[in-house]
């Protein structure tokens, strides 16, 4: 069974540009989570989607947004990029039956570098 996939692996942008990151969950999973992993800060919760709806978001500005498609894949958009947005962005998926208490399965991440 295929795991969580993310694309692209690496993304280099300049300040002010927009970045789009993509995630495909494990087949059958309806929940998708996005995290930002910056050096020394652990994982910071960004967004949670389930059944196409945004269920919760972390303490990030509105320029971080996303959506979940009918096939449960998801996209994270970061507008007006700032240097501090440089980080590894991890996507995770779960069955969605018990909210965020479900075990999450992580993808390999997208490394975003903002110059």
Partner 1 sequence: AQTVTQSQPEMSVQEAETVTLSCTYDTSESDYYLFWYKQPPSRQMILVIRQEAYKQQNATENRFSVNFQKAAKSFSLKISDSQLGDAAMYFCALSGGYQKVTFGIGTKLQVIP
Applying CB under 8 A, which part among 10-18, 63-71, 75-83, 86-94 lies near partner 1? 86-94
Binding flag, residue 103, partner 1 (CB under 8 A): yes
Q: Compute the least distance from the CB of residue 67 to partner 1, in Å.
A: 19
CB of 1 or CB of 70, closer to partner 1:
1
Residue 112 and residue 21 in contact, taking contact as beta carbons nearer than 8 Å = yes
Q: How many residues bind partner 1 (CB under 8 A)?
A: 27
Q: Cα–Cα distance between 73 and 26 in angstroms, integer?
A: 9
Inter-residue contact 49 to 32 (CB < 8 Å): yes
Q: Is 41 in the site for partner 1 (CB under 8 A)?
A: yes
Q: Is 26 among the residues that bind partner 1 (CB under 8 A)?
A: no
Minimum gap (Å) between residue 5 Cβ and partner 1 = 11
d(CA 112, CA 4): 18
| CA distances in angstroms from 97 to 32, 57, 83, 92, 102, listed in the order given | 12, 19, 37, 15, 7
Q: Which chain residues interact with partner 1 by CB under 8 A? A: 3, 33, 35, 40-45, 48, 55-56, 58, 88, 90, 92, 98-101, 103-109
């Amino acid at each position: 069974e295929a795991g969580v996939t993310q694309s692209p692996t690496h993304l280099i942008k300049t300040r002010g540009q927009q970045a789009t990151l993509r995630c495909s969950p494990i087949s059958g999973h309806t929940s998708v989570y996005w995290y930002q992993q910056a050096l020394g800060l652990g994982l910071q919760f960004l967004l949670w989607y389930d059944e196409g709806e945004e269920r919760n978001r972390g303490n990030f500005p509105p320029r971080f947004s996303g959506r979940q498609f009918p096939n449960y894949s998801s996209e994270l958009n970061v507008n007006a990029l700032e240097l501090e947005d440089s980080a590894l962005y991890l996507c995770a998926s779960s069955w969605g039956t018990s909210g965020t208490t479900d075990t999450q399965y992580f993808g390999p991440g997208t490394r975003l570098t903002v110059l």
